[in-house]
Structure 1
Amino acid sequence: MADGNVALRDSKEQDGPVLVFTPAEWAAFTAGVREGEFDLTALAAGA
Structure 2
Amino acid sequence: MLEEHYTEPFDLSSLARELHLSKHHVSHLFRSETGGSITEYVIDAFLLAGFEM
Q: Which has the greater radius of gyration? A: 1
- TM-score relative to the length of structure 1: 0.39
Q: Which has the higher contact order (CA 8 A, sep 6+)?
A: 2
- TM-score relative to the length of structure 2: 0.36
Relative to total residues, which structure has the larger strand share, 1 or 2? 1
Relative to total residues, which structure has the larger helix share, 1 or 2? 2
